[in-house]
Amino acid sequence: MGSAFNLGKVFGIQFRLHYTWFIIFILITTSLSWQVFPFNYPDWPLVLYWVMGIITSLLFFASVVAHELAHSLVGRANGIPIKSITLFIFGGVAQMTREATKASAELKMAAAGPACSLAIGGLCALLWFFTQGMIEPIAAMFQWLAYVNVLLAVFNLIPGFPLDGGRVFRSLLWRFTGNYKRSTRIATQVGRGVGYLFILGGILIIFLRPFGLGWFSGLWLAFIGWFLENAASASYRQAQWRETLQGFTVSQAMTSDCPVVPPSATVNQLVREHILISGHRCFMVSDESRLMGILTLHNIKSVPQPKWDMTQVTEIMTPVDKLKVAHPNQDMLSVLEQMDENDINQMPVVSEGRVIGLIARDNLLRLLHTRSQLGI
Ligand SMILES: [Zn+2]
């Protein structure tokens, strides 16, 4: 997901704010300050509607963060590392660098979010109960937060993958059938079905306006349905890729002829004397016998062409201390996961202490591309 601001790290997890978050923040704040609070409490001064609207809206997003954090911390405790949490228009999404390898781990991780939302909802209901009749704006805030957190838990428990309920559903299928692939296919198909139902429901609301619902609610529901359908399809494609990658080893996809270039070479020399003539795409920078780093076309593209003459290969290579090493018999999926976890695009392939090739993201993409072109 592009165009997101980094907010900082909590528990080693990067928090990000996608620009679409501002849309939903403004929407919720104005709906609270313009409709919900004025309708239920007509005597408040105008400024109080807005102050309480903003505070309540921010606390709601704090609840969404808590929900995602619950997934992430339970996931991490079960061996599923979480890299970042992004808040966007439909709530939050935790980016994991690998999928669960055990049904029980997936079940715990998926259930943690809705459980957290229910707990927050319960806590807010208690606080509402105790502030009721004392401080009206605070009580009103807790009442709304209690309602919306329960709603968040219930919505997420809808059994369409990739919603939490869909993950719970897949983990149960997986546990009982022992077949991860089939469980994923069924859960994502149900997810797409749920998406279509939402779209249909949205259209019906727009035209029939039942229960006094406005066209905007219908549009919103259809929009969520469209998003769910897309996310379910994307999850299924991703699962297929993962399976393909799992079936290949590093030695089957790596580039094995990486010429050695001296550290004194410039980018210009490298391009003219090696890349244009031999068509090699990877290089090892080495003085005498010591490997100093590796270079791919990716590194070269980071330097503007007029500077090629003044830039030495050592300035743009990935130095050896930043490199993670792959093994020839490792499966490609675990390599991709390692790249995602470490934010790297390439790894030297080492066998018995010797560099025998290079595996880059390009290799993985080319493999997937070839397979899809051949339809296998
Ligand atoms: Zn969740």
Pairing of strands 354-360, 318-319: unpaired
Q: What's the confidence (pLDDT) of residue 208?
A: 80
With beta carbons less than 8 A apart as the criterion, state whether 352 and 330 touch. no
**Helices marked H in the chain:** 20-30, 37-40, 46-77, 103-131, 136-156, 164-177, 180-208, 215-246, 250-253, 267-269, 276-278, 297-301, 313-316, 332-342, 361-374
| Phi, psi angle pair for 357, to nearest 5° | 175, -170
Per-residue pLDDT tens, the chain, 376 aa: give them: 557 888 888 888 888 888 888 888 898 899 889 888 888 888 888 899 999 999 999 999 899 989 989 999 998 898 888 888 888 877 777 777 777 778 888 899 999 999 999 999 999 999 999 888 888 889 989 999 999 999 999 988 988 888 889 899 999 999 998 888 888 889 899 999 999 999 998 998 888 877 777 778 888 889 889 988 988 888 888 777 777 787 788 888 788 777 888 888 888 888 888 777 777 777 888 887 777 888 877 788 888 888 888 888 888 888 877 778 888 888 888 888 788 777 777 788 888 777 788 888 777 877 777 777 776 6
Among candidate residues 68, 106, 229, 337, the one labeled active-site is 68
Distance 220 CA to ligand 1 centre (A): 19
Q: What's the confidence (pLDDT) of residue 84?
A: 83
Distance 157 CA to ligand 1 centre (A): 8
The sign one gets for the Cα dihedral 158, 225, 228, 150 is negative
Q: What is d(CA 189, CA 159) in angstroms, rounded to the nearest whole number? A: 11
Distance 232 CA to ligand 1 centre (A): 15
Q: What's the confidence (pLDDT) of residue 125?
A: 94
Q: What is d(CA 155, CA 227) in angstroms, rounded to the nearest whole number? A: 14
Distance 121 CA to ligand 1 centre (A): 15
Distance 325 CA to ligand 1 centre (A): 34
Q: What's the confidence (pLDDT) of residue 259?
A: 80
Distance 205 CA to ligand 1 centre (A): 26
Q: What's the confidence (pLDDT) of residue 141?
A: 92
With beta carbons less than 8 A apart as the criterion, state whether 295 and 270 touch. yes
The torsion defined by the Cα of 49, 52, 54 and 55, in degrees rounded to 10, comes to 180
Q: What's the confidence (pLDDT) of residue 235?
A: 81
Distance 6 CA to ligand 1 centre (A): 21
Distance 155 CA to ligand 1 centre (A): 9
DSSP string, 46-103: HHHHHHHHHHHHHHHHHHHHHHHHHHHHHHHHTT--EEEEEEETTEEEEEESS--SSH
Distance 110 CA to ligand 1 centre (A): 7
Q: Is 337 a known active-site residue?
A: no
Q: What's the confidence (pLDDT) of residue 2?
A: 59
Residue 227 burial class via C-beta count within 10 angstroms: exposed 0-12, middle 13-18, buried 19 and up: middle
Q: What's the confidence (pLDDT) of residue 376?
A: 63
Distance 83 CA to ligand 1 centre (A): 16
Distance 63 CA to ligand 1 centre (A): 11
Beta bridge partners of 359: 347
